Structure 1
Amino acid sequence: MWKLSSVLLACSLFTACAASTHSTALSALGVARSSKDLLAVIDQPGLLEVESVVSADWSVPRSGVINLGHPKAKAARLEDGDEPIQIYFHVVRHPTHGTFIIDTGVERALRDDPERSAMSGLVRSAMHLEKLIVHMPLGDWLANQPAPIDGVLMTHLHLDHVSGMPDVPKGTPIYAGPGETSSRQFLYMFTQGSIDRALEGQAPVQEWPFRAGEDRFAGVVDVFGDGSLWAIWVPGHTPGSVAYLARTATGPVLFVGDTSHTSWGWQHDVEPGSFTGDQELNAASLGVLRKLVEEHPRIDVRLGHQHLAAPVPTR
């Protein structure tokens, strides 16, 4: 108990705690490009295969994932309450670079022995994990693969996105946006220890080498150097939030992360609520991604925590 009190006291000396104390390094993978480079190839068929896996079902406060103070949310008379969501990990297969996952779902221990999971009892209670229904922990999925994965591509380092990391083999490269471990939010006072445990024993988090001053996006990285997979810097939800665009044989697939958690938020251009660090910046990043999809309607959008529902017809 004294240790927890000491951590909270130390954190209270600052505005907030950092997300994690885990070490970082500049990414050895990826080349900084311009938005023109991405747009030049976005509609061309690609060579990647992708898959989205529902690791768990959950429910969270609607006020966390949708800004209920937004005029559109008020007009729709949205009220707070349980919002059903999913926790995903996504699979990206490259014919020569191998298999990568985007985010990590949940770890086996959350299903089999929660006391041994990375999440502390305090965090499990605060996050109401009694509402969590585990379908495919990352460890089960990995055990059925013919070869180890070649890397983990993080959209951001919130706990519900790194919670499967204990199942990832040690030494697997991990990639994320700049400043993700060092970003500060009040929330991290309570989650930093659990995030650190999820990352314990792993290699340093490699930060994408985004080039600042991009004309359209905050930054763009050609992940494999062949134009097949792109990391797009979308700050707001967290300072280093990243969306990924994969070019497949059937068209581009956009993994937006928590720039938009929900189908309603995406369709109505309303940013997330209290779970987001900077709502104004998040709204701007959401607008950038929505504009990209409007211009390239063949893009298959994969949201942070829900399936994108078909839009409601208007009369």
Structure 2
Amino acid sequence: MRARLIALSIVAALGGTLAVAGVVGFATTSHEARKSSLGVARPAADLLAVLDQPGPVELETVVSADWAVERGGLINLDHPTAKAAGLKNEDEPIQVFFHAIRHPEKGLFIVDTGVEKALRDAPEQSAMSGLVRSAMQMEKLKVLAPLGEWLAKQPRPLAGVFLTHLHLDHITGMADVPGGTPVYTGPGEASARMLLNAAGQGSADRALKGKPALSEWTYSHEAAGLFEGAVDIFGDGSVWALWVPGHTPGSTAYLVRSTKGPVLLLGDASHTRWGWEHDVEPGTFTADGPRSVESFKKLRAFAAAHPNVDVRVGHQH
């Protein structure tokens, strides 16, 4: 709510300019985006043929920071189950993750970015502006493993970044990503326009500075598929991008066939363990509630049909 009020105050200050320009909102970022040449669009059902086969990928989930945010943004408190449980809009302890994918042939990739070193060591020099840090209540954020420090310890260079979406808490480590590293995201993430982006666009632009144009997954829409679309990222069935719009237009979950079994990285299609386990979708931090519920239900159905899949929600263990 605090971030919303700050964003709206910026919009009000710019009101005359917006009226003249006829602008209905701000893009998430002004960073260039283009269609990705990586990956092959395939029916989501194709992954079922390989789901139970041992995978070649090593997967590591890193807790980059501990944090706390309003529960009402993470869980739909108007849902009957949430009301019956007596959930209130109090601070919910969460984590900020990144996930490391080590492919034996393609190299090292990460899903989302954790937080950058400067956010701990010199916040005023970080990509996140003071206004954004205040609005996001980053004084409650405790940095544990900044991405830059983790990358410095890796024997292999970073080959690419797979984003679940472009919300600031998922790209706060992007400044630590080496310049020129390819960055992949879902369709429409960069260009999605909202008035609330007035507060965050500058920070997103700074986080992405020095990176190539965003590469958007080229999904083939499946109206009646397991998901809205799927991309076999490396063409060998080891890592899949799954289109689950709602939280944002291009929200993407990732299915990783790891050496320890299949793992489903939900991103913010479900933020919390409680929400996932009690079949309650995310709350007010989501752009399109009805579409978010639809994607949430598809993910829940997939997980129920395949209980061997390790499900990892967006912001909790």
Range of TM-score over shorter length: over 0.9
Q: Write the distance in 2 (CA, Å) between the matches of 1:20 and 1:240.
A: 14
Matched ranges for 1:274-285 at <5 A: 274-285=284-295
Cα deviation for residue 235 of structure 1 reads 0.1
Number of residue pairs aligned between Structure 1 and Structure 2: 304
Partners of 2:161 and 2:252 in 1: CA distance: 13
Q: Does 1:141 align with 2:150?
A: yes
Is the contact made by 2:43 and 2:222 (CA closer than 8 Å) also made in structure 1?
Answer: no
CA RMSD, Structure 1 to Structure 2 (Å): 1.5
Give the C-alpha shift of residue 214 in structure 1.
4.7
Question: By how many angstroms is 1:6 displaced?
Answer: 9.5
User: How much does 1:259 deviate?
Assistant: 0.3
Secondary structure of 1:150's aligned partner: strand
The answer on 1:251 being equivalent to 2:226 is: no
Paired residues of 2:11 and 2:198 also in contact (CA < 8 A): no
SS across alignment from 2:158: coil
Q: 2:243 aligns to what?
A: 233
Q: Is the 8 A contact 2:28 2:189 kept in 1?
A: yes
Give 1:187-226 correspondences, 5 Å limit. Answer: 187-216=196-225, 217-226=227-236
Counterpart mapping for 1:126-205 below 5 A: 126-205=135-214
**Amino acid aligned to 1:39:** L
Of 41, 48, 59, the residue aligned with 2:57 is: 48
TM-score by length of 2: 0.93
Per the alignment, residue 282 of structure 2 pairs with 272
Identity of aligned residues (%): 59
The one-character-per-residue Cα deviations of 1:182-234 (angstroms, maximum 9, x if unpaired) are 11233312111111110011110000010013532100000000000000000
Does the CA-based 8 Å contact 1:152-1:173 persist in structure 2? yes
CA positional deviation for 1:7: 8.1
Report the TM-score, using the length of structure 1 for normalisation: 0.93
Correspondence 1:299 to 2:309: yes
Deviations 1:82-131 (A, max 9, x none): 00000000000100000100000000000000000011111111111110
CA distance in 1, matches of 2:275, 2:152: 35
Q: Amino acid of the residue matched to residue 232 of structure 2?
A: D
Q: Which amino acid aligns with 2:29?
A: S
Q: What is the DSSP-based 3-state SS (H/G/I as helix, E as strand, rest coil) of the residue aligned with 1:157?
A: coil
1:113 and 2:126 are equivalent in the alignment? no
Query: Equivalent residue for 1:290?
Result: 300
C-alpha change, 1:267 and 1:102, in structure 2 (3 Å) is: same
Distance 1:197 1:8, change over 3 A: farther
Question: In structure 2, what is the equivalent of residue 104 of structure 1?
Answer: 113
- How far is 1:181 from its partner? 0.3
Aligned residue for 1:30? Answer: 39
Q: For residue 39 of structure 1, report the CA deviation from its aligned partner.
A: 1.2
1:94 aligns with 2:103: yes
**Residue identity in the other structure for 2:143:** V
